[in-house]
């Protein structure tokens, strides 16, 4: 009885492991196919611009709201943790570096991943179950070129742009809170920003955003293309796209942090 | 001409196509009938290369399309037009953009010519001046007709119809039937129509094939279908639950 249970457990784990390997393989193939078709896909520049507006411009207000409060919270937290230990003149530099390196790119990726990843998966999933993707193929139009390339390219381009906005707005949010409630003067805050601004911090944050954009675009498209069934399938694909892009953003964030700050920018 | 030889395809645990043999002659309208879930749409998707069989061959004008590369298949597909069951119009595009899409992708025609072709195809299917409407604001019959206009936009040699009259009222179904006939006469296309609507079937078909348990079990002209004593065909044509085909 116990042996039977152990065997069933082993089979279950083996099946799940094989499913996972197959999933990784399919995502890799989609990435390869997207790379192969990027040139031809960019010829439909109108589609790329449409997606840039949908992914970038339409996400801007969400990013503004999230960023301003991120900066504000960072200021409050920094002031609390500095108390009697670190002079408050460093508050600007701490907010700057934490926002530019980590909070800006990661929080932007998480909120955009929720909004855009879900929207891409739902749109492509609905197209899949209503045979619109079959219709594209029947018209000899490659769905990866027509649907995936514009979305992934736009996400890769727009995530760093949104991150730049997020960084600026979060630093401004931190400035407002520092000056109005923490008791730091504008001059001290701005001096802190200037003294501890390093280009490599900004570069590493934007490089992360490029990777995060790719993750959001590919996860949305992959799960949209894998949709089966009807409305339930579309809902499931949407959830999977958001969850997988958020988890991958955090994993890749850790990997990139290691590569960038332990090897490339290590002093 | 399209020739299908010993086509087999399993989906999950079900053998959907189990040795289909069929020949579709140049310029004819071949109708494939059968109960829901017997693999009619699956067969249609194999003909246009949207699905790959486990075994067997499909030759289009003597060239086997099974195992072709995506690029080779793409060239073959340009000779086909397909009307999907739910029309499969792209929600984000207008009616005009839907019909113009294959032309913009493949034809190299100037924009003025494309607009002219779109208006002409819409006129052929009895819909003029709807270019700027979105698919969501069209009725079921209008969607099918726009889907048909898109399917014939590239002057295809073969047109595949997946359940063209399903979900339509009898009057609109007759309009679609007449369109299928008139397009065959006007363009000289070879058509394959998949349906279980028998009233429609007799109006459009030159020959009719009955698909059952993954095989073609009967093939003949509409007159032969009417005259046959084959119990499978009789049961299907008469639409009774009593007979060799067991309701599931």
Q: Are residues B150 and B164 in the same domain?
A: no
Strand partners, B31: B193, B208
Spell out which residues of chain B touch residue A137, defining contact as CB-CB under 8 Å. 50, 77
- Nearest residue on chain A to B82, alpha-carbon basis: A138
Alpha helices in chain A (DSSP H): 2-42, 45-55, 60-82, 91-98, 104-112, 118-129, 132-138, 143, 149-177, 186-195, 199-225, 231-258
**Cβ within 8 Å, pair B90-A137:** no
B77 pLDDT band, cuts 50/70/90, is very high
pLDDT tens track for A42-86 = 888 889 999 999 999 999 999 999 999 999 999 999 888 888 787
Question: Choosing among B42, B105, B163, which should be mutated to test the A contact, i.e. which has the most A CBs within 10 A?
Answer: B105
The length of chain B, given as a count of residues:
248
Residue ranges making up the domain that contains B145: 87-155
Q: Kindly state whether residue B108 falls inside one of the protein's structural domains.
A: yes
Those of residues 124-143 in A touching chain B at CB distance below 8 A are 126-127, 130-132, 134-135, 137-142
Is the minimum CB–CB distance between A191 and chain B shorter than 8 Å? Answer: no
Is a pLDDT exceeding 90 seen at residue B207? yes
Map residue B245 onto helix, strand or coil: coil
Q: Are B58 and B7 in contact (CB under 8 A)?
A: yes
A180 pLDDT band, cuts 50/70/90, is very high
pLDDT of residue A267: 63
Q: Tell me whether strands B55-60 and B2-11 are parallel, antiparallel or unpaired.
A: antiparallel
Share of chain A above pLDDT 90, in %: 75
Q: Are residues B37 and B75 in the same domain?
A: yes
B36 pLDDT band, cuts 50/70/90, is confident
Q: Are residues B131 and B114 in the same domain?
A: yes
Strand partners, B33: B195, B210
**Cβ within 8 Å, pair B84-A127:** no
Residue ranges making up the domain that contains A111: 2-264
Q: Are residues B107 and B59 in the same domain?
A: no
Spell out which residues of chain B touch residue A134, defining contact as CB-CB under 8 Å. 45, 50, 84, 88
> With 0-12 CB in 10 A as exposed, 13-18 as middle and 19+ as buried, what is B239?
exposed
Is a pLDDT exceeding 70 seen at residue B72? yes
Last residue of a domain, one of B155, B183, B209: B155
Residues 6 or more apart whose Cβ sits within 8 Å of residue B85? A131, B41, B162, B163, B166
Q: Compute the distance between CA of residue A265 and CA of residue A202 in angstroms, rounded to an integer.
A: 12
Last residue of a domain, one of B111, B136, B155: B155
Q: Are residues B69 and B174 in the same domain?
A: yes
Q: Kindly state whether residue B247 falls inside one of the protein's structural domains.
A: no
Work out how many domains chain A is built from and give that number: 1
- Nearest residue on chain A to B152, alpha-carbon basis: A139
Return the closest-CA partner of residue A213 out of A120, A141, A96. A120
Spell out which residues of chain B touch residue A122, defining contact as CB-CB under 8 Å. none
Q: Compute the distance between CA of residue A177 and CA of residue A174 in angstroms, rounded to an integer.
A: 5
pLDDT tens track for A9-38 = 999 999 999 999 999 999 999 999 999 999
Q: Are residues B123 and B170 in the same domain?
A: no
A163 pLDDT band, cuts 50/70/90, is very high
Q: Kindly state whether residue B60 falls inside one of the protein's structural domains.
A: yes
**Per-residue buried b or exposed e for A16-49, using 16+ beta carbons within 10 Å of the residue's own CB:** eeeeeeeeeeebeebeebbeebeeebeebeebbe
B122 token code pair: 């819409």
> With 0-12 CB in 10 A as exposed, 13-18 as middle and 19+ as buried, what is B122?
buried
| Closest partner CB to A132 (pick from B45, B81, B90) | B90
Q: Are residues B28 and B137 in the same domain?
A: no
Count of alpha carbons within 13 Å of B86, Cβ hemisphere only? 16
Distance in Å, alpha carbon of A224 to nearest chain B alpha carbon: 15
Is a pLDDT exceeding 80 seen at residue B239? no
**Cβ within 8 Å, pair B85-A135:** no
Is the minimum CB–CB distance between A22 and chain B shorter than 8 Å? Answer: no
DSSP B33: E
Q: Compute the distance between CA of residue A177 and CA of residue A182 in angstroms, rounded to an integer.
A: 7
pLDDT tens track for A228-251 = 988 899 999 999 999 999 999 999
Distance in Å, alpha carbon of B94 to nearest chain A alpha carbon: 14
Q: Are residues B48 and B141 in the same domain?
A: no
- Nearest residue on chain B to A131, alpha-carbon basis: B88
Q: Compute the distance between CA of residue A88 and CA of residue A216 in angstroms, rounded to an integer.
A: 38
B187 pLDDT band, cuts 50/70/90, is confident
Distance in Å, alpha carbon of A232 to nearest chain B alpha carbon: 19
φ, ψ (nearest 5 deg) of residue B168: -105, 155
pLDDT of residue B45: 93
**Cβ within 8 Å, pair B75-A140:** yes
The residues of B whose Cβ lies within 8 A of any Cβ of A are 45, 48, 50, 70, 73-75, 77-78, 80-82, 84-86, 88-92, 101-102, 105-106, 150, 154
**Per-residue buried b or exposed e for B170-192, using 16+ beta carbons within 10 Å of the residue's own CB:** eebbebbbebbeebbeebebbbb
Lowest-confidence pick of A98-107, A122-131, B234-243 = B234-243
Work out how many domains chain B is built from and give that number: 2
Spell out which residues of chain B touch residue A127, defining contact as CB-CB under 8 Å. 90
Q: Are residues B191 and B204 in the same domain?
A: yes
Q: Kindly state whether residue B188 falls inside one of the protein's structural domains.
A: yes
Last residue of a domain, one of B104, B128, B155: B155
Q: Compute the distance between CA of residue B181 and CA of residue B177 in angstroms, rounded to an integer.
A: 6
Distance in Å, alpha carbon of A138 to nearest chain B alpha carbon: 6
Q: Are residues B165 and B70 in the same domain?
A: yes
B65 token code pair: 């399309």
| Closest partner CB to A135 (pick from B73, B74, B88) | B88
Q: Are residues B6 and B35 in the same domain?
A: yes
Radius of gyration for chain A, computed over Cα atoms and rounded to the nearest angstrom: 22
| Closest partner CB to B88 (pick from A123, A134, A140) | A134
Q: Are residues B109 and B52 in the same domain?
A: no
pLDDT of residue B98: 95
Q: Kindly state whether residue B248 falls inside one of the protein's structural domains.
A: no
pLDDT of residue B247: 66
A266 token code pair: 């290590």
The strand ranges marked E within chain B are: 2-11, 14-24, 29-33, 55-60, 63-64, 80-83, 158-162, 190-195, 207-212, 215-220
Instruction: Kindly report the pTM of this predicted structure.
Output: 0.88
Map residue B175 onto helix, strand or coil: helix
Spell out which residues of chain B touch residue A130, defining contact as CB-CB under 8 Å. 86, 88
């Amino acid at each position: 009885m116990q042996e039977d249970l152990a065997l069933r457990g082993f089979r279950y784990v083996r099946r799940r492991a094989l499913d996972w390997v197959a999933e990784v393989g399919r995502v890799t193939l989609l990435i390869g196919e997207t790379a192969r078709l990027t040139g031809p896909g960019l010829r439909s520049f109108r589609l790329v611009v449409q997606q840039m507006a949908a992914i970038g411009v339409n996400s801007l207000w969400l990013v503004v709201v999230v960023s301003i409060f991120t900066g504000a919270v960072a200021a409050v937290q920094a002031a609390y943790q500095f108390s009697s230990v670190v002079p408050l003149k460093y508050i600007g530099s701490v907010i700057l570096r934490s926002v530019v390196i980590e909070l800006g790119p990661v929080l932007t990726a998480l909120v955009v991943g929720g909004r855009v990843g879900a929207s891409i998966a739902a749109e492509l999933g609905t197209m899949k179950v209503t045979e619109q993707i079959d219709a594209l193929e029947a018209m000899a139009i490659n769905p990866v070129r027509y649907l995936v390339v514009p979305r992934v390219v736009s996400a890769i381009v727009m995530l760093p742009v949104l991150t730049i906005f997020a960084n600026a707005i979060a630093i401004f949010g931190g400035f407002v809170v520092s000056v109005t409630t923490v008791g730091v003067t504008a001059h001290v805050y701005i001096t802190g920003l200037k003294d501890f601004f390093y280009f490599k911090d900004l570069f590493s944050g934007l490089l992360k955003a490029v990777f995060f954009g790719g993750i959001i675009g590919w996860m949305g498209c992959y799960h949209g293309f894998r949709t089966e069934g009807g409305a339930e399938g579309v809902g499931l694909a949407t959830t999977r796209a958001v969850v997988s892009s958020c988890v991958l953003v955090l994993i890749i964030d850790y990997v990139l942090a290691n590569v960038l700050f332990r090897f490339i920018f290590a002093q | 001409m399209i020739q299908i030889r010993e086509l087999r395809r399993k989906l999950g645990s079900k053998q959907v196509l189990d040795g289909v043999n069929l020949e579709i002659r140049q310029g004819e309208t071949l109708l494939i009938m059968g109960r829901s879930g017997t693999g009619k749409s699956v067969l249609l998707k194999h003909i246009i290369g949207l699905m790959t069989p486990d075994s067997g061959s499909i030759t289009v004008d003597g060239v086997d399309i099974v195992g072709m590369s995506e690029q080779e298949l793409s060239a073959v597909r340009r000779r086909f037009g397909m009307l999907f069951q739910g029309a499969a119009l792209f929600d984000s595009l207008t009616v005009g953009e839907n019909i113009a899409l294959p032309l913009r992708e493949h034809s190299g025609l100037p924009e003025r010519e494309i607009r002219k072709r779109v208006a002409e195809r819409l006129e052929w299917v009895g819909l003029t001046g709807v270019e700027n409407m979105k698919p969501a604001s069209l009725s079921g019959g209008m969607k099918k007709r726009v889907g048909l206009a898109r399917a014939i936009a590239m002057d295809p040699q073969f047109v595949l119809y997946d359940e063209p009259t399903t979900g339509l009222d009898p009057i609109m179904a007759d309009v679609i039937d007449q369109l299928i006939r008139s397009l065959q006469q006007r363009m000289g296309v070879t058509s394959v129509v998949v349906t279980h609507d028998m009233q429609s079937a007799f109006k459009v078909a030159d020959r009719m094939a009955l698909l059952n348990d993954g095989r073609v079990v009967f093939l003949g002209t509409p007159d032969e279908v009417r005259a046959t004593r084959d119990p499978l065909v009789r049961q299907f044509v008469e639409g009774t639950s009593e007979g060799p085909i067991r309701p599931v």
